[in-house]
Amino acid sequence: MNALILVVLVWVAERSAGNVISRLDARLTENEIYYGQNDIFSDIDNIDWSNVDTARIMVIFPGTNWCGTGNISANNDDLGIFEETDKCCREHDFCDDVIAAQETKYNLTNTAFYSRLNCRCDEKFKSCLKEVGSIVSGKVGEIYFNLLNTQCFRKDYPATCTSSTILQRCTEYEYDTSQEQIYQWFYVPYYNS
Protein backbone atom coordinates (compact mmCIF):
# COMPACT_ATOMS: atom_id res chain seq x y z
CA MET A 1 0.00 0.00 0.00
CA ASN A 2 2.95 2.38 0.49
CA ALA A 3 3.52 2.38 -3.27
CA LEU A 4 -0.11 3.35 -3.74
CA ILE A 5 0.32 6.29 -1.38
CA LEU A 6 3.34 7.49 -3.35
CA VAL A 7 1.42 7.49 -6.63
CA VAL A 8 -2.02 8.64 -5.51
CA LEU A 9 -2.84 11.99 -3.93
CA VAL A 10 -5.70 12.75 -1.65
CA TRP A 11 -7.68 14.90 -4.04
CA VAL A 12 -10.44 17.09 -2.70
CA ALA A 13 -13.78 17.55 -4.43
CA GLU A 14 -14.45 20.89 -2.80
CA ARG A 15 -14.10 23.71 -5.32
CA SER A 16 -13.00 25.95 -2.42
CA ALA A 17 -9.82 23.90 -2.16
CA GLY A 18 -8.93 25.11 -5.63
CA ASN A 19 -8.01 23.29 -8.78
CA VAL A 20 -4.23 22.90 -8.59
CA ILE A 21 -3.98 21.89 -12.24
CA SER A 22 -5.27 24.30 -14.84
CA ARG A 23 -6.48 23.08 -18.21
CA LEU A 24 -3.66 22.86 -20.70
CA ASP A 25 -3.56 23.16 -24.46
CA ALA A 26 -5.66 20.25 -25.79
CA ARG A 27 -3.06 19.65 -28.53
CA LEU A 28 -0.55 18.32 -26.01
CA THR A 29 -0.38 14.57 -25.55
CA GLU A 30 -0.96 13.06 -22.12
CA ASN A 31 2.75 12.21 -21.89
CA GLU A 32 3.76 15.82 -22.65
CA ILE A 33 1.35 17.08 -20.01
CA TYR A 34 2.58 14.48 -17.49
CA TYR A 35 6.22 15.48 -17.89
CA GLY A 36 5.29 19.16 -17.65
CA GLN A 37 3.49 18.67 -14.33
CA ASN A 38 6.29 17.35 -12.12
CA ASP A 39 5.61 20.08 -9.56
CA ILE A 40 1.97 19.01 -9.09
CA PHE A 41 2.70 17.42 -5.72
CA SER A 42 4.14 20.64 -4.27
CA ASP A 43 0.93 22.52 -5.17
CA ILE A 44 -1.02 20.51 -2.59
CA ASP A 45 0.70 22.61 0.10
CA ASN A 46 -1.23 25.65 -1.16
CA ILE A 47 -4.67 24.21 -0.36
CA ASP A 48 -6.54 25.88 2.50
CA TRP A 49 -7.56 22.70 4.34
CA SER A 50 -9.69 24.64 6.87
CA ASN A 51 -12.38 25.05 4.19
CA VAL A 52 -12.47 21.37 3.29
CA ASP A 53 -15.27 19.04 4.33
CA THR A 54 -13.29 15.93 5.32
CA ALA A 55 -16.28 13.71 4.57
CA ARG A 56 -15.78 14.61 0.90
CA ILE A 57 -12.11 13.71 0.65
CA MET A 58 -11.55 11.32 -2.21
CA VAL A 59 -8.57 9.58 -3.73
CA ILE A 60 -8.43 10.70 -7.36
CA PHE A 61 -5.42 10.34 -9.65
CA PRO A 62 -3.92 13.81 -10.25
CA GLY A 63 -5.01 15.42 -13.51
CA THR A 64 -8.15 13.29 -13.81
CA ASN A 65 -11.70 13.77 -12.55
CA TRP A 66 -12.87 10.15 -12.77
CA CYS A 67 -9.88 7.92 -11.91
CA GLY A 68 -10.28 6.97 -8.25
CA THR A 69 -12.94 6.63 -5.60
CA GLY A 70 -15.96 8.42 -7.02
CA ASN A 71 -15.35 11.46 -9.19
CA ILE A 72 -14.80 15.19 -8.85
CA SER A 73 -16.39 16.20 -12.14
CA ALA A 74 -18.89 19.05 -12.42
CA ASN A 75 -20.90 16.94 -14.91
CA ASN A 76 -20.54 13.87 -17.12
CA ASP A 77 -18.63 15.84 -19.78
CA ASP A 78 -16.12 17.31 -17.32
CA LEU A 79 -12.76 15.63 -17.85
CA GLY A 80 -9.34 16.30 -16.35
CA ILE A 81 -6.25 17.30 -18.31
CA PHE A 82 -5.48 13.64 -19.00
CA GLU A 83 -8.68 13.42 -21.04
CA GLU A 84 -8.19 10.09 -22.80
CA THR A 85 -7.34 8.27 -19.58
CA ASP A 86 -10.21 10.06 -17.83
CA LYS A 87 -12.63 8.86 -20.54
CA CYS A 88 -11.64 5.26 -19.73
CA CYS A 89 -12.24 5.87 -16.01
CA ARG A 90 -15.58 7.57 -16.65
CA GLU A 91 -16.78 4.64 -18.76
CA HIS A 92 -15.61 2.26 -16.03
CA ASP A 93 -17.56 4.26 -13.44
CA PHE A 94 -20.71 3.84 -15.56
CA CYS A 95 -20.52 0.03 -15.57
CA ASP A 96 -24.06 -1.33 -15.55
CA ASP A 97 -23.35 -4.26 -13.20
CA VAL A 98 -21.83 -3.21 -9.87
CA ILE A 99 -21.80 -4.42 -6.27
CA ALA A 100 -21.34 -1.39 -4.03
CA ALA A 101 -19.12 -1.51 -0.95
CA GLN A 102 -20.61 -3.60 1.86
CA GLU A 103 -23.57 -4.67 -0.30
CA THR A 104 -24.75 -8.08 -1.47
CA LYS A 105 -25.88 -9.04 -4.98
CA TYR A 106 -25.99 -12.43 -6.74
CA ASN A 107 -25.32 -13.99 -3.31
CA LEU A 108 -21.91 -12.22 -3.23
CA THR A 109 -21.03 -9.70 -0.50
CA ASN A 110 -18.56 -6.97 -1.34
CA THR A 111 -16.39 -6.51 1.76
CA ALA A 112 -14.16 -3.90 0.08
CA PHE A 113 -14.41 -0.15 0.79
CA TYR A 114 -15.03 0.50 -2.93
CA SER A 115 -17.46 -0.87 -5.53
CA ARG A 116 -16.58 -4.02 -7.41
CA LEU A 117 -17.66 -4.50 -11.00
CA ASN A 118 -18.61 -7.23 -13.40
CA CYS A 119 -15.42 -8.65 -14.93
CA ARG A 120 -16.45 -7.57 -18.42
CA CYS A 121 -16.34 -3.91 -17.26
CA ASP A 122 -12.85 -4.38 -15.81
CA GLU A 123 -11.71 -6.09 -19.03
CA LYS A 124 -13.08 -3.17 -21.08
CA PHE A 125 -11.36 -0.70 -18.72
CA LYS A 126 -8.03 -2.48 -19.10
CA SER A 127 -8.33 -2.49 -22.90
CA CYS A 128 -9.21 1.21 -22.95
CA LEU A 129 -6.21 2.16 -20.80
CA LYS A 130 -3.88 0.09 -22.99
CA GLU A 131 -5.32 1.71 -26.12
CA VAL A 132 -4.59 5.18 -24.69
CA GLY A 133 -1.05 3.97 -24.12
CA SER A 134 0.20 6.98 -22.14
CA ILE A 135 2.30 7.06 -19.00
CA VAL A 136 -0.76 8.23 -17.07
CA SER A 137 -3.03 5.45 -18.36
CA GLY A 138 -0.27 2.98 -17.45
CA LYS A 139 -0.03 4.35 -13.89
CA VAL A 140 -3.82 4.22 -13.46
CA GLY A 141 -3.81 0.63 -14.79
CA GLU A 142 -1.01 -0.40 -12.44
CA ILE A 143 -2.78 1.08 -9.42
CA TYR A 144 -6.18 -0.44 -10.17
CA PHE A 145 -5.13 -3.83 -11.50
CA ASN A 146 -1.85 -4.46 -9.66
CA LEU A 147 -1.77 -2.54 -6.37
CA LEU A 148 -5.39 -2.61 -5.20
CA ASN A 149 -5.51 -6.40 -5.50
CA THR A 150 -9.17 -6.03 -6.41
CA GLN A 151 -11.66 -8.61 -7.57
CA CYS A 152 -14.43 -8.59 -10.13
CA PHE A 153 -17.41 -10.92 -10.42
CA ARG A 154 -18.97 -12.96 -13.17
CA LYS A 155 -21.18 -15.97 -13.73
CA ASP A 156 -19.07 -19.00 -14.57
CA TYR A 157 -18.59 -22.64 -13.65
CA PRO A 158 -17.43 -23.10 -10.03
CA ALA A 159 -13.77 -22.12 -9.95
CA THR A 160 -10.88 -23.35 -7.82
CA CYS A 161 -7.61 -21.46 -7.65
CA THR A 162 -4.75 -23.54 -9.07
CA SER A 163 -1.96 -20.95 -9.00
CA SER A 164 -1.43 -17.84 -6.92
CA THR A 165 1.18 -15.22 -6.08
CA ILE A 166 3.10 -15.07 -2.83
CA LEU A 167 0.46 -12.58 -1.64
CA GLN A 168 -2.29 -15.17 -2.19
CA ARG A 169 -3.67 -13.51 -5.32
CA CYS A 170 -5.06 -16.16 -7.62
CA THR A 171 -3.62 -16.07 -11.15
CA GLU A 172 -5.06 -19.31 -12.59
CA TYR A 173 -8.35 -21.12 -12.06
CA GLU A 174 -9.73 -24.57 -12.79
CA TYR A 175 -13.44 -24.80 -13.62
CA ASP A 176 -15.85 -27.59 -12.69
CA THR A 177 -17.97 -27.81 -15.84
CA SER A 178 -20.08 -30.62 -14.36
CA GLN A 179 -21.92 -28.10 -12.15
CA GLU A 180 -24.21 -25.14 -12.84
CA GLN A 181 -22.67 -21.73 -13.43
CA ILE A 182 -22.78 -19.37 -10.45
CA TYR A 183 -21.70 -15.80 -9.72
CA GLN A 184 -18.32 -15.69 -7.99
CA TRP A 185 -15.33 -13.44 -7.32
CA PHE A 186 -12.21 -13.49 -9.51
CA TYR A 187 -9.00 -11.53 -9.08
CA VAL A 188 -8.51 -9.05 -11.91
CA PRO A 189 -5.55 -9.96 -14.13
CA TYR A 190 -2.35 -7.97 -13.75
CA TYR A 191 -1.82 -4.89 -15.90
CA ASN A 192 1.33 -4.86 -18.02
CA SER A 193 2.11 -1.56 -19.73
Catalytic sites, residue numbers:
92, 122
| HEC profile of the chain | CHHHHHHCCEEECCHHHCCCCCCCCCCCCHHHHHHHCCCHHHHHHHCCHHHCCHHHEEEECCCCCCCECCCCCCCCCCCCCCHHHHHHHHHHHCCCCEECCCCEECCEECCCCCCEEEHHHHHHHHHHHHHHCCHHHHHHHHHHHHHCCCEEEEEECCEEEEEECCCCCEEEEEECCCCCCEEEEEECCCCCC
Per-residue confidence (pLDDT) for residue 35, from 0 to 100: 57
What is the residue-level pLDDT of the chain in tens, covering all 193 positions? Answer: 333 332 333 333 333 233 333 333 344 566 665 555 544 444 444 555 455 444 444 689 999 999 998 899 999 999 999 999 999 999 999 999 999 999 999 999 999 888 999 999 999 999 999 999 999 999 999 999 999 889 999 999 999 999 999 888 999 999 999 999 999 999 999 999 7
* Model pLDDT, residue 167: 85
Map out the domains of the chain with their CATH numbers: 2-187 (1.20.90.10)
